[in-house]
Amino acid sequence: MDSKWVFSGLAETIASNPTLLTISDFVNMWGLTLVGVSLVLGLFSRYSALVGMGFVMLYYLFAPPFLGLEYSRPGEGSYLIVNKNLIEACALWVMYTFPTGHIIGLDRLFTKSN
């Protein structure tokens, strides 16, 4: 309900409908769990990094730290454009760009060695 900027209307729709809120909670919990387990194990790490980036960018777009957007709950600090969600998205982009799952993760079981 505290969403501002681009997706505020969508956030209000989801929060006001119990069914949509339950679905959103389920997708959020299990999506993040599966992305995290996949990244830790190095299994399908490139796809997991992309999906994780999608999740984190949605969090950023639902509540961006821009000037003039005041939220009722206090944040973790004083941010101006860059917050932890944007940093996490950049870290996931690095993981996507430099995939190491084929070296030390379970992805090496699915890659052909030369």
The confidence score (pLDDT) of residue 106 equals 83
The confidence score (pLDDT) of residue 52 equals 94
Tens of pLDDT, residue by residue over 9-34, are 777 787 788 898 888 899 999 999 99
**25 domain-assigned:** yes
**28 domain-assigned:** yes
**34 domain-assigned:** yes
Measured between alpha carbons, how far is residue 66 from residues 11, 56, 60, 85, 100 in Å? 18, 17, 10, 13, 34
**36 domain-assigned:** yes
Tens of pLDDT, residue by residue over 44-80, are 888 999 999 999 988 888 777 766 666 655 566 667 7
What is the C-alpha to C-alpha distance for residues 88 and 49, in angstroms, rounded to an integer?
10
User: How many domains does one find in the chain?
Assistant: 1
**114 domain-assigned:** no
| Count of positions (residues) in the chain | 114
DSSP letter (8 states) at residue 112: P
Q: Is 66 helix (H, G, I), strand (E, B) or coil?
A: coil
Domain containing 94 equals 5-64+77-109
**71 domain-assigned:** no
The answer for residues whose C-beta is within 8 angstroms of residue 108's C-beta and 6 or more apart is: 42, 101, 102
Whether residue 1 contacts residue 11, with contact meaning beta carbons closer than 8 Å, is answered with yes
| pLDDT level of residue 102 (50, 70, 90 thresholds) | confident
**82 domain-assigned:** yes
Q: Give the torsion through C-alpha atoms of 78, 3, 36, 81, to 10 deg.
A: -40
Q: C-alpha angle 35/78/53, rounded to 5°?
A: 20
Q: Which of 6-10, 15-19, 96-100, 104-108 has the lowest mean pLDDT?
A: 6-10
**70 domain-assigned:** no
The confidence score (pLDDT) of residue 20 equals 86
What is the C-alpha to C-alpha distance for residues 83 and 77, in angstroms, rounded to an integer?
9
Instruction: Inform me whether the pLDDT recorded for 5 exceeds 70.
Output: no
